[in-house]
A and B are shown apart, each in its own frame.
Chain A
Amino acid sequence: MKKEEVEKKPGGSLKKEMRVRPIGQGTVIDHIRGGQALNVLKILGIYGTTEAVVSVAMNVPSKVLVFKDIVKVEGRELEQKEVDRISLIAPDATINIIRDFEVIEKYRVDLPERIDGVVKCNNPNCISNTHEPVISKFMVNKKPVELRCVYCDHVISEGIAEHLI
């Protein structure tokens, strides 16, 4: 967990203010590429009507990424499928599982070799975009991140977030 940061308020006085409050139970997704936090929320199915306590920090200065986003979701530990999805749009992200205010598990996301039912093929004529009972399947190239449709061979290399199901 990052320590809370000290900010100087206008007017000169120093005031301790937490950018994002610590969470007792849940998941912190750190090192999300700047600008991708809202897509991460989309992947997690978090919309305006969600009851969970969610904190989002965007464009936080970062040594590694220059700017990073952070998402904290209280009361929820991410499932592997959710982590797979996040890895597509935030390949540098780290997942911190929190229990009783302690990080009990911390790991970097890792792109799986194949990803099923997560991304829609961008080829409108692909069999996976029909009423056939198939889910989309892609082979994953890690560097650069490219998805190749198992059915039609089309490659998605840019704007992966736009194709998330």
Chain B
Amino acid sequence: MSRHIISMKDFSRDEIDFILNRAREFEPIARGNKSSLLSGKILATLFYEPSTRTRLSFETAMKRLGGDVIDLGPVESSSVAKGETLADTIRVIGNYADAIVLRHPREGAARMAAEYSNIPIINAGDGAGHHPTQTLLDLYTIMRESSLSDMRIALVGDLKYGRTVHSLAYALSLYHADMTLISPKQLQMPDVIKKDLKKQGARISETTNIEDVIGDIDVLYVTRIQKERFPDPAEYQKVAGIYRVTEELLGKARDNLIIMHPMPRVDEIDPSVDTTKYARYFQQSFYGVPVRMTLLAMAMEVI
């Protein structure tokens, strides 16, 4: 199955289940077992915005499957700096590589790139838009560390600008999750997204306090309030550091609670939480590798 991976909305529940189940088979390779599944294949990573874990986990996934990676290098010293359009860059790179991983600051960039590309485009984040591979690894983490059925989850932090939570909330609606949205009033999830979720049959409630729900949930998904997404720095200062998960807060948590975070964190989760039985955010980063292996293998039509 060769295809572009642009938005979670392009996936059916069955397709997501297929990806999550296949990812399980890639876990031993992600841990270091040899594979030559993608030997002779080349992945191009085009990152127009800084990224650490997404880029590195794609590179790791590709290399552990025996493939090679080429990259754009720093945007400021590439053809982009000379004014080349993304549409042109995509068509040129399409002559070199077997698939493209793209991160771009503009919403809709990956969708547009797919229109011009003769090789699969994998969206690794388009501005405040979609980030489907993050969502799939989040779902995979829940599947591996908790359960995707009858799940109660709270999404905390910047639910307005945070791209990961929008995609995740949409995907969770396909699993009929019971969702609580926790954010300050000015960072609430946009109405248009809530309307979409409700259309999918999602159960949603909203609050401004983690304490309200900490004793009732299976998954606490914490996000960073991202300074770079705020049009007005003064607005950022009003909400910076508003949520902080501490051991004390977790005193009321259920035994089976897991805490997730797409990383990087700043101060949303106290480091003392890292050693509690609840913390799963480092496993979550690892799970990005088998999930991205699956997506690369699908994009390059080897599974």
Contacts and interface: CB of A to CB of B under 8 A. Distances in A.
Interface of A: 123, 125-128, 130-134, 149-155
Nearest to B83: A131
B108 A149 contact: yes
A151 B112 contact: yes
Interface in B97-126: 104-109, 111-112, 115, 126
B108 to A, nearest CB: 3
Given A125-B128, A153-B129, A130 B106 contact: yes
Given A134-B115, A152-B129, A155-B192, A125 B106 contact: yes
22 contacts: A125-B106, A125-B127, A125-B128, A126-B106, A127-B104, A127-B106, A127-B108, A131-B85, A132-B86, A132-B87, A132-B112, A133-B85, A133-B87, A134-B87, A150-B111, A151-B107, A151-B111, A152-B106, A152-B126, A153-B107, A153-B108, A155-B192
A152 B107 contact: yes
A143 B4 CA distance: 31
Contacts of A127: 86, 104, 106-109, 111-112, 126
A37 B149 CA distance: 54
Contacts of B106: 125-127, 130, 152
Contacts of A123: 107
Nearest to A146: B192
A132 B111 CA distance: 12
A126 B115 CA distance: 15
Given A128-B112, A132-B85, A153-B108, 13 more contacts: A125-B128, A126-B106, A127-B109, A127-B111, A132-B86, A133-B87, A150-B108, A150-B111, A151-B107, A151-B108, A151-B109, A152-B108, A153-B130
Interface residues of B, number: 19
B2 to A, nearest CB: 21
A5 to B, nearest CB: 45
Contacts of B7: 153
Nearest to B130: A153
Interface centre among B87, B106, B129 (most CB of A within 10 A): B106
Contacts of A134: 87, 112, 115
A125 B107 contact: yes
A72 B107 CA distance: 41
Nearest to A133: B87
Contacts of B108: 126-128, 149-153
Nearest to A150: B111
Nearest to A154: B107
Interface string B202-244: 0000000000000000000000000000000000000000000
Interface string B1-39: 000000100000000000000000000000000000000
A159 B130 CA distance: 26
B42 to A, nearest CB: 25
A152 B112 CA distance: 10
Lowest 6 CB-CB distances: which A-B pairs, in order?
A151-B108, A152-B107, A152-B108, A127-B108, A127-B106, A127-B109
Contacts of A150: 108, 111
Nearest to B7: A153
Contacts of B104: 127
Contacts of B115: 134
A27 B158 CA distance: 52
Contacts of A128: 108, 112
A95 B111 CA distance: 36
Contacts of A154: 107
A45 to B, nearest CB: 28
Nearest to A134: B112
Interface in B160-194: 192
Interface string B75-104: 000000000011100000000000000001
